[in-house]
Structures are given as structure tokens and as C-alpha cells.
Amino acid sequence: MNSEKTTKLILFFASLIVIFILFGMVFSLIDGAVPIFKKFGFGFLFSSKWNPTEGHEAYGALPFIIGTLVTSIIALLICFPLAFSTSLFIGEYYKGTKLAKLVGTLVDMLAGIPSIVYGLWGFYVLRPIIIDLGFNDQGYGIFTSGLILAIMIVPYSTSISTEIISMVSKDLKEAAYSLGATRKDVILNVIIPNASSGIFTSYILAFGRALGETMAVTMLIGNANKIPVSIFDTGNTMASVIANQFGEADGLKLSALIAIALLLFLISGIVNGIGKIVIKKVY
């Protein structure tokens, strides 16, 4: 056996590790979720009951699925104008200048702040503002969580959009300028059509990030196991219910939380997958 082959074999075996981890993960999640699906069937996905009292146990994932989707969509809606403007600022208006670099660094720093620090900041700074504005009494809720999520995902969509926007060819832009187009015309009619799928992907990936965020949301959403009736109502997301209820969970409740984790894994996997496919098709 020569060393050449040994090296290649070692590398190959190393690559098996990621496959092992992923399949082991899926297996463990499915294995842990089996009891709850045996008991409630797929009704688990559509039920909104959450009652851990022994003898009356009933679990449903619907409030958390809705909570996750609604918070993430709110985050995406708030994130969109911010990230879009910032990426134009860095990638078009001040492309290559020191100012763009500074703004880019500041936005990157947003990505570096730990989730729990966002949670604290949201709790002590954002929540009082929400209360003062009179949206709701406690300041907790779907909207507050969506707002903090928006700040958290802005750097992800900004960095991808910026890259795509600054890649739009100079010739195209100059041709438009020579026809008398203003900068606004160039952005709306040249840059956006050329960069649209990349920009779209950047939001898909940001959305995927928002789905799985745990700590900041747990601290701000109010942790109510019910379907929220308005965006200022309290609720729970899939990630936050796991973080909240895990400590006292065993038996069927633990199984319910694992099933929620499995769902979260699938949903964020699908969203990220769509993003990756779109970006691969384009580039």
C-alpha cells in the first residue's frame, strides 16, 4: 500500500463524516418524533392545542409554524427596503469609496453580534419604544420579534445583493447614461433586471436565517402557545418553543418538541435549497 493511496483514502473517509452527520441527524429527529406522530398522526401539524397536563396531553404544532412564518415574513418585509438601499449605496452610489467600505464594515458587524445580545437590546431598548408607540401593553410579540429579526438578517441579504449589484456590467450602465437616463432610471431599468435573481436569492437566504433564529425571538415574542390573532399579539416560533419548553420536557412532550425540530429542519432546508438552486442556475 503506497502512501499516495492512503492519503486519498483518508480524505475520502473524512468526507463520509458530513454524510454520516446529516443522515444521523435526520434519523435521530425522525426516531424521536415517531411517538407524537403515532399518537396524533398528521393532525399534530394542524392542531393548535398545547396541553402538557398528564392525562389530558394534547400537542399541536400549528401555532408555532404560523408564528415562525409570520415573524420571518415581517422580518423580510422590513429587511427588504433596508438591505436593498444599502446594497445600492455600497455597490452603486459609492462603489469602491472609503464611505462604502465603512458602511459595509458596519453592516458586517451586525452579522457578528450574537443573537442573545440582540435579544437583550430588543428587550431593553426596542420593547419600551414599542410600548410608547402604543402598539401593545407589554411590548412583546410577533411584531417586535420580526423587527429584531429584520435587523439580524439585513447583513446577509445586503452582502449578497451588493456583490450582485456591483457585478452588473459597466457597459450596460454607460449605454443607458448616454441615452440620457438618470441614475434612478439606470437602477430601475438596468441594474435591477440584470441582478434580480441574485437579489431574490439574497432574500431567500436571509429568510432561511430568520426561520431558525432562537434566542432573540425567545426573549421578545412573549411565549404564548396559541395562534396569534394580530401581528402585535404574543406567540411562539418553532425555535423559541423548543428553547422554552425543553427544560421541563420528557416523554410525549419531548417527542413533540423533536417533531417541531424536524419540521424546522425541513422548512429551513427547503428554503435554503431553493436559494441555492436559484443562485446556481444564474451563475
Q: Which of residues 199-258 bind another protein (CB under 8 A)?
A: 208, 211-215, 218-219, 239, 242-243, 246-247, 257-258
- The reply to whether 34 sits near another protein by the rule CB under 8 A is no
Our CB check for another protein shows the closer of 5 and 56 to be: 5
- The reply to whether 269 sits near another protein by the rule CB under 8 A is yes
Our CB check for another protein shows the closer of 213 and 233 to be: 213
Binding another protein by CB under 8 A: which of 125, 171, 178, 281?
125
Our CB check for another protein shows the closer of 86 and 234 to be: 86
CB of 46 to another protein, least distance (A): 22
**Closest to 202 (Cα-Cα) out of 75, 108, 84, 77:** 84
- The reply to whether 192 sits near another protein by the rule CB under 8 A is no
Binding another protein by CB under 8 A: which of 45, 69, 73, 110?
110
Binding another protein by CB under 8 A: which of 48, 69, 73, 183?
183
Provide φ and ψ at 58, rounded to 5°: -150, 130
Binding another protein by CB under 8 A: which of 96, 114, 193, 251?
114
- The reply to whether 22 sits near another protein by the rule CB under 8 A is yes
Rg of the chain on CA atoms, in Å: 23
CB of 187 to another protein, least distance (A): 8
Beta carbons of 164 and 279 less than 8 angstroms apart: no
CB of 79 to another protein, least distance (A): 9
| Size of site (CB under 8 A) for another protein | 80
CB of 41 to another protein, least distance (A): 22
Cell of 148: 429584531
Tell me how far apart the alpha carbons of residues 109 and 276 are, in angstroms, rounded to a whole number.
24
Instruction: Map residue 58 onto helix, strand or coil.
Output: strand
Give residues with Cβ within 8 angstroms of 18, minimum separation 6.
Answer: none
Binding another protein by CB under 8 A: which of 30, 106, 129, 282?
106
Q: For 238, how many CA atoms within 13 A lie in the half-sphere containing its CB?
A: 24
Query: Which residue bears the cell 425543553?
Result: 246
Tell me how far apart the alpha carbons of residues 38 and 35 are, in angstroms, rounded to a whole number.
5
Helix (H) or strand (E) holding 264: helix 251-282
Site for another protein in 44-83 (CB under 8 A): 81-83
Paired strand residues for 268: none
**The length of the chain, given as a count of residues:** 283
Q: Which stretch binds another protein (CB under 8 A): 46-54, 57-65, 168-176, 265-273?
A: 265-273
Tell me how far apart the alpha carbons of residues 197 and 125 are, in angstroms, rounded to a whole number.
36
Cβ atoms within 10 Å of 124's Cβ, excluding its own: 9
- The reply to whether 136 sits near another protein by the rule CB under 8 A is no
- The reply to whether 33 sits near another protein by the rule CB under 8 A is no
CB of 56 to another protein, least distance (A): 25
